A = this chain, B = another copy of it.
Amino acid sequence: MEIEKLNEENIKTLLTKLLKRSPISYGRYEASVNEIIKNIRERGDAAVFELEKKFDKVDLTPENIRVSDEEIKEAYTKVDEKLLNVIRKSLKNIRSFHEKQRQNSWFTTDEKGIFLGQKVTPIAIAGVYVPGGKAAYPSSVLMNIVPAKVAGVPRIVMCTPPGADGKIYPPTLVAAHEAGADEIYKVGGAQAIAAMAFGTESVPKVDKIVGPGNIYVALAKKAVFGYVSIDSIAGPSEILILADETANAHYVAADLLSQAEHDELAAANLITTSEQLAKDVSREIDGYLPKLSRADIIRKSLENYGHLFVAENKEDAYDAVNQIASEHLEIVTKDPFLDMTKVKNAGAIFLGTWSSEPLGDYFAGPNHVLPTNGTAKFFSALCVDDFVKKSSIISYSEEALREAAGDIQDFAECEGLTAHANSVKVRFEK
């Protein structure tokens, strides 16, 4: 791999290229997605069955659209025990981390008789979308369901496309059942998103839709936002490694390659203050690459979105890290905790030699559903808070309201809202 000097121009070019991968910039699919949504809204199940026949080549009916207990049992017989075992261990860690995110309702009082607070309530129905076929990752099923479960959501609905045999990929079913999905429907694509957003005879209307998907799924989620809540719109995966001369080039190369294998659009970048490290990593990558099973995908991803940048100093490196706002950031330096204090924007930050990124994908516990494409500047990892909402609580005593009454009336009158002023005034009239 080529080595480049880090400068403003380079970073700008990279950012422009990365942003073009964003699913929301593909305007040309919008019309067909809107057509699907309209169809589902107007015709419900009939449209779902028709679209599933067209896209997934299956004959669905009100009787077989929902995955049965028997099908779940059957899936367990087809899943390797090793996988089941690791799903359970991973689930324990994911649950444990997310339980720490739980927020309490809280209140504050004032002796005048004022009670103010925030009441936290889980949403009633969460909808989880899981892609089918090659893109079905049991780890992703866990990551999307667990935060809803920990939040206390009483009904978790999942949609995922069936194969041509009408069955769901067994590891997906097993992961969903282990994580606690209550109902699973065999629907995929934009039709699944529309069905969950508006409800059909078979698929319940949900309050929030989460989960990754292809371009049709991403655009459908954006279209139904407001009718329901959605998580952020996921783009291709990314890793950025910030390393100095203390980093092990062999490991850095392996971590860059691990992210690049996801997808031809995946981005794997290195920023280092050590030219020697950049050279060593370059050599390691060239050596490794041919040996990996997904070498073709990796090669394309690195060609288009992969760089080895050498920064003149740490400040330039920090600045670039914050501009890129990567989904995954590894800090492999002499003092990673110190360097972490300089990072403003990143989905997940992995510190030190032993915190390889796949540790976060599968096992450590924090969510692997992370903001991509620079959206770590304003979005966060999927979390328990995504599945609750908060009601403000306001209770004033007569004494407290009497004291505030004049101010409230003044403010309301200044805004020309006399009935607002009146609603306070009447309470203190003789």
Contact = CB atoms under 8 A, between A and B. Distances in A.
A419 B257 contact: yes
A124 B319 CA distance: 13
A58 interface: no
A76 interface: no
Contact of A349 (B346, B354, B363, B393): B393
A22 interface: yes
Contact of A366 (B116, B251, B348, B423): B116
Given A294-B419, A351-B394, A396-B359, A123 B408 contact: no
Instruction: Tell me the number of copies of this protein.
Output: 2
Contacts of A393: 340, 348-349, 351, 366
Interface stretch (A67-75, A308-316, A381-389): A381-389
B225 A225 contact: yes
Contacts of A329: 391
A121 interface: yes
A200 interface: no
Contacts of A35: none
A86 B414 contact: yes
Interface in A95-141: 97, 100-101, 106, 108, 114-116, 118-119, 121, 123-124, 134, 137-139
A43 to B, nearest CB: 18
A233 B224 CA distance: 12
A423 B138 contact: no
Interface of A: 22, 24, 80, 82-83, 85-87, 89-90, 97, 100-101, 106, 108, 114-116, 118-119, 121, 123-124, 134, 137-139, 171, 207-208, 222, 225-229, 232-233, 250-251, 254-255, 257-258, 260-262, 292-294, 298, 329, 336-337, 340, 343-367, 370-371, 375-381, 383, 385, 389-398, 400-401, 404, 407-408, 410-412, 414-424, 426-427
Contacts of A366: 116, 118, 392-394
Main secondary structure on chain A at its contact with chain B?
mixed
A358 B408 contact: yes
A255 B258 CA distance: 61
A389 B377 contact: yes
A411 B139 contact: yes
The 9 closest A-B pairs by CB, nearest first: A366-B392, A351-B395, A258-B423, A348-B392, A229-B378, A261-B419, A254-B423, A24-B226, A207-B378
B395 A390 contact: no
Given A378-B207, A426-B254, A418 B294 contact: yes
A367 B370 CA distance: 28
Given A375-B226, A390-B383, A258 B80 contact: no
Which of A106, A134, A250, A424 has the most chain B CB atoms closer than 10 A to its own CB? Answer: A424
A137 B340 contact: no
Nearest to A261: B419
Which of A293, A370, A385, A391 has the most chain B CB atoms closer than 10 A to its own CB? Answer: A391
Given A375-B226, A378-B229, A414-B82, A354 B397 contact: yes
Given A345-B121, A417-B258, A427 B354 contact: yes
A228 B353 CA distance: 33
Contact of A396 (B355, B362, B417): B355
